[in-house]
Amino acid sequence: MNPFDHIKNLHTKQKRWEDFNDEEKKSFNVFIINKGLSMNPDYLGIVNMVQNFTGLNQVISPKEVFNIYFNLLPNNFRFYKWIKGEKSKKDKEKAEYLAMHFKVSTREAYDYLDILDKKTINSILKNYKNEPQRKAI
């Protein structure tokens, strides 16, 4: 079972912890389950409460976490999109050129991509692509 199967099961209540085999029990990753459930804004209070007793402190076991969620979450399942960053290969190349041009880190250059208009970015890129390879300082 993957984490999304576990989250779905917590809502549909098809299998209890005792019904899982050893491999399925090991695949219940508390951190990922917490992250997946926190995508639903209605569950933030529950997830926050559970997180206080998991992680580095590990006061409660994965079995106990499963049982808490199993008993607290409603039966209706609704998928909430997993939020992840969007960085394309083109953006990476643009950010590297902007970092060289403005003498900033690549991380800061990603902010420049959001701030500057396309015309300005393209003129900067054009200057660097027409010149022989420069090395970043």
Predicted confidence (pLDDT) per residue in 67-119, tens digit: 999 999 988 877 777 666 666 677 888 899 999 999 999 889 988 888 999 99
Three-state secondary-structure class, residue 15 = coil
| pLDDT tens-digit map of 106-123 | 889 988 888 999 999 999
Closest CA to 94 of 114, 121, 116, 118: 121
| pLDDT tens-digit map of 30-51 | 999 999 898 888 889 999 999 8
In this model, does residue 137 exceed pLDDT 80? no
Q: What is the CA radius of gyration of the chain?
A: 23
Taking the C-alpha atoms of residue 22 and residue 98, their distance in angstroms, rounded to an integer, is 51
Cα-based angle 51, 22, 52 (whole degrees, multiple of 5): 5
Three-state secondary-structure class, residue 68 = helix
